[in-house]
Amino acid sequence: MSEIRLYVTDDLIAGGAAAALDAKQAHYLKAVMRLGAGDEVLVFNGRDGEWRGRIEDLRKKGGALSLVERTRAQERGPDLWLAFAPAKRGTPELVARAATELGVSALQPVTTRRTVVGRVNTERLRANAVEAAEQCGRLTVPAVLKPIALDTLLADWPADRRLMLCDETGGGVPIAQALSAQDRAAPWAVLVGPEGGFDPSELDVLGKQPIVTSVGLGPRILRAETAAIAALACWQALVGDWRAPE
């Protein structure tokens, strides 16, 4: 069995104070995993690497871990946003989990002209991202940003961030071709549209941005969640940290 990894918020410093566990984590370790004082788990906080911690105590309101040793130095994955139009219930959570495994640094829900779902539960997305980060071995948790209108997102777009647009109308360049010899050092974002696709006026505006690379994902129509996972995987394989070190 793989080791238990928990995301905590306290600083993790050699000789420092014990790290606090919240009530849910204490309950999980005690009631679900049947662990107690003296047992060891791994913790990370997104800043101080990964540490082996020893359980001091587990109570209803939370618990405490003393730090035994640092097991991994802090590392950052690629600076890669996923901007996506949340589709029907349950799907955004699935996308948040998979995107976390696929190494995104931020999840940006966007509303488009054809976005059907209204309210996005960013707290639940965040919980899914934390759990996926714990399980996939990451040392960071992707930021879950507040939903924003596509127009506003583009108006405030950082000048140096490249944007890979998944164009479901067939107007894009085949993804492997589009991503060969792209700038690996630049920050990136992947943008996936809603069910029903982008409105033509949106594609028009996107097509005029110098930072946009329009890509095609083959001859079949992908659901939004498949497109997001597929696009992130191809990006990681061709541009990101799945590549062999150079």
Using rule CB under 8 A, residue 71 touches a second copy: no
Which CB sits closer to a second copy, 1 or 32?
1
CB 144, min distance to a second copy, A:
18
**Nearer residue to a second copy within complex by CB, 55 or 96:** 96
Query: Which one, 106 or 230, has the nearer CB to a second copy?
Result: 230
Angle at 38 between CA 25 and CA 50, to 5 degrees: 60
Tell me the DSSP string of 60-80.
TTEEEEEEEEEEE-------E
Q: Which residues contact 198 (CB under 8 A, 6 or more apart)?
A: 112, 113, 114, 167, 168, 169, 206
Among 102, 125, 191, 211, binds a second copy (CB under 8 A): 102
Is there binding between residue 85 and a second copy (CB under 8 A)? no
Nearest partner of 203 among 230, 172, 174, 180, judged by Cα: 172
In angstroms, what is the minimal distance from the CB of 164 to a second copy?
A: 12
Nearer to a second copy, 2 or 201 (CB): 2
Rounded least distance, CB 20 to a second copy, Å:
26
Distances (CA, A) of 157 to 8, 104, 185, 210: 31, 17, 18, 11
Residue in 156, 146, 154, 143 with CA at minimum distance from that of residue 106: 143
Site string for a second copy, 153-192 (x = CB under 8 A): --------------------xxxxx---------------
- Residue 15 or 245: which CB sits closer to a second copy? 245
Give min distance, CB of 240 to a second copy, in A. Answer: 8
- Return d(Cα 134, Cα 100) in angstroms, integer: 10
Residues 6+ apart with CB under 8 A from 3: 41, 42
- In the shown chain, the binding pattern of residues 187 to 216 toward a second copy, with x for contact by CB under 8 A and - for none, equals ---------x-------------------x
Partners of 148 in the β-ladder: 110
Query: Interface residues with a second copy (CB under 8 A)?
Result: 1-2, 97-98, 101-103, 135-138, 173-177, 196, 216-223, 226, 229-234, 236-238, 240-244
